[in-house]
């Protein structure tokens, strides 16, 4: 392990237990005059979204005013996600209704990108909607490093990832795409980034000054692109990570993880090209091919996966007007 990575792990890796005193966080937030926004991106999450809203609103807005605004941004759920979220008091938005002039794209990254326009916090905290063991630490653990340390710009969660099955919970599992795809790629091309324990975790907190200046893949590659772009612009020192102990969530099938890996790999290779790290790349195919078996027959399935990217939010005229950003001379 390099001396730089070892030092970073000592200074920029935290445990949520260090931030048990939420009132202290509130005082420090007020001292620094920070506004903190929470966004939960959703797609068909009616079973878990209600509990998340109740926990976050009661503990982090009413009991301790750490969060200043809280929104659910939805990709077009076909269940009652938005109705449930609204009934528990969350501000709810359809992604398609935010910045309608730029059109609508389907994907989690689209929700994350449009949250930058819709929300007004100096720090935006993103938390996935499918967490079964939700707790205030899923916010406090990742936002506290940014409150206390001005040099940290982007803080990722990490945790044990038990896989939830219909007949119970297995004691280990998850993180398969990270270990099989991301960690080997980082080891080859960006060794310092291997110090991030779970770079694909869906819980992270970021300063607006960073979010508005990086592009957003709308699909599977958004977390990978974030890590690479922030690292290239601000270095390893800009990251923090916090141990949240355990996260219980629904587990995805191998087929679903294959699609995810295909999208992530598109994003990664495009970044290598953009950074000038490879001389040539062939035009990449966008059709992902899998097989399914029916009896003694094998059928090939194809699905088009295109990692479309939204530009940095700061380039959008409506955003510049809303936040009164003046053109540079």
Closest residue by Cα to residue 246 from 171, 175, 159: 159
How does pLDDT run across 165-187, given as a tens digit for each residue? Answer: 445 544 433 478 999 999 999 99
Q: What share of the chain in percent tops pLDDT 70? A: 94
User: Which pLDDT does position 237 carry in this prediction?
Assistant: 97
Question: What is the torsion angle, in degrees rounded to the nearest 10, for the CA atoms of residue 200, residue 91, residue 36 and residue 316?
Answer: 70
Q: Report the C-alpha gap between 50 and 150 in whole angstroms.
A: 33
Q: Which residues have CB under 8 Å from 235's CB, separation 6+?
A: none
Answer with the residue of higher pLDDT: 4 or 67.
67
User: Which pLDDT does position 172 carry in this prediction?
Assistant: 39
Q: Please give, one letter per residue, the 3-state secondary structure of the chain.
A: CCHHHHHHHHHHEEEHHHHCCHHHHHHHHHHCCCCEEEEEEECCCCCCHHHHHHHHHHHHHHHCCCCCEEEEEECCCCCCHHHHHHHCCCEEEEHHHCCHHHCCCCCHHHHHHHHHHHCCCCEEEECCCCECCCCCHHHHHHHHHHHHCCCCCEEEEEEECCEEECCEECCCCCCHHHHHHHHHHHHHHCHHHHHCCCCCCCCEEEEHHHHCCCCEECCCCHHHHHHHHHHHHHCHHHEEEEEEEECCEECCCHHHHHHHHHHHHHHHHHHHHHCCCCCCCCCCCCEEEEEEEECCEEEEEEEECCCCEECCHHHCHHHHHHCCCCCCC
User: Which pLDDT does position 329 carry in this prediction?
Assistant: 55
- Averaged pLDDT of the chain: 91
How does pLDDT run across 69-86, given as a tens digit for each residue? Answer: 999 999 999 999 999 999
User: Which pLDDT does position 170 carry in this prediction?
Assistant: 42
36-40, 158-162, 273-277: least confident range: 158-162
Domain boundaries defined on the chain: 3-322
User: Which pLDDT does position 147 carry in this prediction?
Assistant: 98
C-alpha angle 154/125/237, rounded to 5°?
10
DSSP state of 278: S
User: Which pLDDT does position 166 carry in this prediction?
Assistant: 46
Band (162; pLDDT cuts 50, 70, 90):
low
pLDDT average, residue stretch 293-307: 81
Band (227; pLDDT cuts 50, 70, 90):
very high
CATH class of domain segment(s) 3-322: alpha beta
pLDDT exceeds cutoff 60 at 256 = yes
Half-sphere exposure of 104 (CA within 13 A, CB side): 10
102-116, 197-211, 293-307, 315-329: least confident range: 293-307
| Residues 125 and 38: beta-carbon distance below 8 Å | yes
pTM of the predicted structure, to 2 decimals: 0.92
Q: Please give, one letter per residue, the 3-state secondary structure of 194-255.
A: HHCCCCCCCCEEEEHHHHCCCCEECCCCHHHHHHHHHHHHHCHHHEEEEEEEECCEECCCHH
Closest residue by Cα to residue 128 from 42, 256, 57: 42
| Residues 157 and 222: beta-carbon distance below 8 Å | no
pLDDT exceeds cutoff 90 at 299 = no
pLDDT exceeds cutoff 70 at 287 = yes
pLDDT average, residue stretch 92-117: 96
How does pLDDT run across 27-53, given as a tens digit for each residue? Answer: 999 999 999 999 999 999 999 999 999
Band (161; pLDDT cuts 50, 70, 90):
low
């Amino acid at each position: 392990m390099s001396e730089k990575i070892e030092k970073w792990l000592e200074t920029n890796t935290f445990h949520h237990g260090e931030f048990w005193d939420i009132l202290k966080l509130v005082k420090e937030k007020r001292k620094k005059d920070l506004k903190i926004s929470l966004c939960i991106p959703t797609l068909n999450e009616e079973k878990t979204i209600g509990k998340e809203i109740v926990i976050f609103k009661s503990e982090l807005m009413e009991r301790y005013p750490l969060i200043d605004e809280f929104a659910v941004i939805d990709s077009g759920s076909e269940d009652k996600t938005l109705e449930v979220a609204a009934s528990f008091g969350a501000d709810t938005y359809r992604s398609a209704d935010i910045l309608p002039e730029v059109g609508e794209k389907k994907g989690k990254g689209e929700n994350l990108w449009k949250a930058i326009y819709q929300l007004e916090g100096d720090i935006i905290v993103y938390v996935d909607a499918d967490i079964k063991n939700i707790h205030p630490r899923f916010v406090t653990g990742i936002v506290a490093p940014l409150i206390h340390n001005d040099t940290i710009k982007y803080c990722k969660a990490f945790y044990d990832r038990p896989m939830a099955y219909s007949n119970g919970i297995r004691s280990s599992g998850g993180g398969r795409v990270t270990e099989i795809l991301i960690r080997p790629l980082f080891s080859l091309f960006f060794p310092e980034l291997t110090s991030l324990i779970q770079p694909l975790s869906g819980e992270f907190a970021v300063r607006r000054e960073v979010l508005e200046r990086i592009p957003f893949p709308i699909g599977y590659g958004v977390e990978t692109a974030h890590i690479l772009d922030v690292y290239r612009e601000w270095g390893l020192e800009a990251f923090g990570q916090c141990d949240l102990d355990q996260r219980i969530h629904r587990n995805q099938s191998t087929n679903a993880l294959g699609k995810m890996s295909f999208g992530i790999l598109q994003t990664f290779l495009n970044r290598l090209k953009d950074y000038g790290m490879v001389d040539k790349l062939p035009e990449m195919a966008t059709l992902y091919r899998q097989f399914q078996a029916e009896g003694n027959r094998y059928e090939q399935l194809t699905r088009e996966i295109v990692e479309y990217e939204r530009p940095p939010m700061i380039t959008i005229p409506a955003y510049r007007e809303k936040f009164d950003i003046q053109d540079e001379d």
